[in-house]
Amino acid sequence: MTERSFRFTHAVTRRPGPDVVSGLRAVDTGAPDLDRFLGHHAAYVAALRATGAEVVELDPLDGFPDAVFVEDTALCLPEGAIIMRPGAPSRLGETEGMTPVLERIYGEVRRVAGPGFIEGGDILTTEREILVGRSARTDADGIAELAGIVADWGYRLREVTVPAGVLHFKTDCSLLDAETILATERLAASGCFDGYRVIHTAEGEEAAANAIRFNNVVIMAAGFPRTREALDAAGYATVEIGNAEAAKLDGGMSCLSLRFTPPA
């Protein structure tokens, strides 16, 4: 069994800028504090680097308050990168900032041209398949176009449904290893992870589900002690990063990076 769905040589991140205070949010719990966000972001980048990965840190993208959530702009696979087509109108233009970055690393990149929409937060790549959640941001046309784009690389795409009120598929789940998914009960109850081992987030700690397995560590948002305990007990090496500011914009650990190993 390969481990290419969670062992990576590279990551791309983008620092939040002053206009992050206007980022999209389902419920307004106040604007994120930029200095605090920058502190959490620096700790996140340091945690990625500590695993030996090369992290490309991009400058804030003026005029795009949600650009810190780079995950939504692309899907990066070992064979190539695909630029997404975000379903949030205010985020559509973020892809232009990401395209040259990925072209520098990968050479040519592919792109979802539309008319459909798809955001990276709805895509979970495992060793055996690519799961794509249909959500308020990702529609059937976007999923169909992505399926066509990755078909010649041998990938099987499986569409799953994101529960109402949940922003992205990966808001509620993460890959822990080739066989194991961390998920909320509400998402796993749909049966979408049948055939995988599932570790549930603790009750009341649903926001812990958006974590990342990155090389030897599982990077998770701070403040979810019972879920962390469950992961530690299952043998994962967990690292906690403050997420209070990103959480005000419905963002978490996966949203803050693109993680990949480009072709040699």
Q: What is the DSSP letter of 223?
A: S
240 binds ligand CIR (CB under 6 A): no
Helical ranges in 198-255 per DSSP H: 225-233, 244-247
Using CB atoms, what's the residue nearest to ligand CIR? 121
206 binds ligand CIR (CB under 6 A): no
> Cβ(74)–Cβ(122) under 8 Å?
no
Q: Give 96's contacts (C-beta < 8 A, 6+ positions apart).
A: none
Task: Let me know how long the chain is.
Answer: 264
What's the min distance (Å) between Cβ of 26 and ligand CIR?
8
DSSP calls for 87-148: SSGGGTTHHHHHHHHHHHHHSS-EE--SSS-B-GGGEEE-SS-EEEEE-SS--HHHHHHHHH
Choose one: 35-43, 125-133, 151-159, 250-258; the region binding ligand CIR (CB under 6 A). Answer: 250-258
172 binds ligand CIR (CB under 6 A): no
Among 143, 249, 253, 258, the residue binding ligand CIR under the rule CB under 6 A is 249
The residues annotated with a catalytic role in the active site are: 168, 255
Number of residues that bind ligand CIR (CB under 6 A): 20
What's the min distance (Å) between Cβ of 246 and ligand CIR?
8
> Cβ(245)–Cβ(36) under 8 Å?
yes
Among 11, 32, 72, 198, the residue binding ligand CIR under the rule CB under 6 A is 72
Residue ranges that bind ligand CIR, judged by CB under 6 A:
23-25, 66, 69, 71-72, 88, 91, 120-121, 167-168, 170-171, 249-251, 254-255
